Structure 1
């Protein structure tokens, strides 16, 4: 959108006059002491010790600096600003506002003091005052990414004030800097929707969602734009996908402020974030800090122990989980994680105990029933295993491992008919599930009880599986199914495909050699089906 520059000349002139007046005030302030804002320091007694110490030390440092009569305005501003960052970090916004105000007053040509003051004011809903500071920040020579950011903030304030033309102008300045940015595309789309420019809204919002598909908040204005354009199917689709997640611009200043956070809960959250991203070494360091920050909280030990296990430091993992249970014998997460740990350590009695404690208090957790069933099965307690597999399926019919493992339990005791029945039931409930379909076809092709074999049906099932999942093991199963039908030539053809797939996946020579042995059997043996 090209707006008339003439329309904005009055604002530019006013801004120049304002900046001149402000700079004059600053010059005069060198002759007289600026009127600083008193800081409403918050009470810290309720905080964790590490945070208490951090904020207390920050305040002491600031007071020491400003008490120095020889300290110039630049460094006095820095002292106030640094304390403002600390207060801002922990949401003591009134104290942070006073610190930023003083920093910006003492050193008005620093971008971050003006930007942070604007952000605090915007967050409090004082858009007019926020605009004053954001515009000061924009007038300061900084990198383009910071100019992009502050123009978005200015546009957001104007939009909140329903000054859509001013918002549009600020957004366009940001667009000139980073036209492909998801944040600016989203805002231009929302602004176009507010202006009833529905075609433009669709264009911007569609691009924004391509850049940031998780920003499900954008589906609503996109749906409403499609509705106004008479495209009801598209409107219905996007309306069903609406949510509350927007898209924010990269903000290096706020990221640095967030990085100042300390304390148990912060370390736990940072550790969980790193763990979810599979950055286990990083997660380990955060959980170590959490434990050091509050060694009496069992959740730190639980997370630390679990991370040790993922890093294959099993001794440390066990010690951390044991410590968690020592601190809180009723901690269900600790019991569950210890149960899984003991299962994989082949300590099945202990696994049953810990998982049993968890299930006693959380009887509707399907995966817990699956895990304890696995432990009972490995402990050679088939009746208990069967009971929990069935409960897992009852709670969550889509739990594919429960179906397959229950069938394998019957197979362990040569109950082949029952094993196939379980998989038939699972296949009926979940006809598109690859794992269940493949296992059923494999049983039908090569179950030891020959009267239960059905190579033709196995092949029919596998044809559908191969469309979705043509890996070497499924191709091998098709070869076995063809061999069971007596079609040795087709069996050889499918096993050759399996060998090719295994090589493409860089599987071990042991796998390749096993497939070659199968092929040799299909080529030479009569009958060609495997015994």
Structure 2
């Protein structure tokens, strides 16, 4: 098996020591291949060695500034530090250099969501869902951004698909209830959805407080 692939599998399995050993060998054997540096940086990010990780990412880009994986990893590097503006810039460079996976669109959309720029997040989250319709989290976040952009009917459609795929998704029940409320839906329908969220997650404070508010408004 290719050492890069083997190292990635070890990283995913949590075997950091062995992954580091393999990626070190990759770099020693192919010192001008940026992918080895990217993979080593990903290990360093996983173990919290941020400064060293950045130096490896910079080395990868120095070797070849058109490798999308370098920018994607750099985006994650910034995202994990909650530096969403910088992360978005790196994910955009990954797109520019040919990356076309649902992951990069999802991460770019999430950057804009965390920055409160929900309308900007929409095309990226939509594309993420289009590329992988089974990605429930991407669809959920797309639904949230639609709701935050006041596109309530479209949000409801997406959140109901989330519930269909995962009937135990308490946050989806809560958010679809809120979206229905914003469209002037019947209160019993809203309460029913909130009850389902609370049944799934009894300590869902947002749902509990929303139910309390709806019931108080009925009195």
TM-score (norm 1): 0.35
**Is the contact made by 2:174 and 2:194 (CA closer than 8 Å) also made in structure 1?**
yes
What root-mean-square deviation, in Å, do the aligned CA atoms of Structure 1 and Structure 2 show?
3.4
The structure-2 alpha-carbon separation of the partners of 1:311 and 1:422, relative to structure 1 and needing over 3 Å to count, comes to: same
2:173 alignment counterpart: 441
Task: Please state if 1:338 is matched with 2:74.
Answer: yes
**Is the contact made by 1:366 and 1:396 (CA closer than 8 Å) also made in structure 2?**
yes
Q: Which of 164, 188, 206 does residue 431 from structure 1 map onto? A: 164
CA distance in 2, matches of 1:462, 1:276: 32
CA distance in 2, matches of 1:315, 1:274: 22
1:256 alignment counterpart: none
CA distance in 2, matches of 1:266, 1:397: 30
Q: Which of 140, 145, 152 does residue 409 from structure 1 map onto? A: 145
2:47 alignment counterpart: 311
**Is the contact made by 1:348 and 1:375 (CA closer than 8 Å) also made in structure 2?**
yes
Larger radius of gyration: 1
Q: Which of 418, 422, 444 does residue 155 from structure 2 map onto? A: 422
Greater relative CO (CA pairs within 8 A, separation 6+): 2
1:349 alignment counterpart: 85
Report how far residue 324 of structure 1 moved.
0.8
**Is the contact made by 1:342 and 1:350 (CA closer than 8 Å) also made in structure 2?**
yes
Report how far residue 299 of structure 1 moved.
1.4
Give the number of equivalent residue pairs.
Answer: 214
CA distance in 2, matches of 1:433, 1:359: 30
**Is the contact made by 1:442 and 1:458 (CA closer than 8 Å) also made in structure 2?**
yes
Q: Per-residue CA shift, 1:144-163, capped at 9, x if unaligned?
A: xxxxxxxxxxxxxxxxxxxx
1:291 alignment counterpart: 27
1:158 alignment counterpart: none
Q: Gaps (5+ residues) in structure 2?
A: none
**Is the contact made by 2:109 and 2:122 (CA closer than 8 Å) also made in structure 1?**
yes
CA distance in 1, matches of 2:99, 2:191: 41
Report how far residue 387 of structure 1 moved.
1.5
Q: Gaps (5+ residues) in structure 1?
A: 1-264, 487-526
Task: Please state if 1:389 is matched with 2:122.
Answer: no
Report how far residue 356 of structure 1 moved.
1.6
Report how far residue 348 of structure 1 moved.
2.7
SS of match in other structure, 2:48: coil
The structure-2 alpha-carbon separation of the partners of 1:350 and 1:462, relative to structure 1 and needing over 3 Å to count, comes to: closer
Q: Which of 96, 103, 120 does residue 360 from structure 1 map onto? A: 96
The structure-2 alpha-carbon separation of the partners of 1:335 and 1:430, relative to structure 1 and needing over 3 Å to count, comes to: same
Task: Please state if 1:275 is matched with 2:8.
Answer: no
TM-score (norm 2): 0.77
1:458 alignment counterpart: 194
Q: Report 1:23-62 matches (<5 A).
A: none
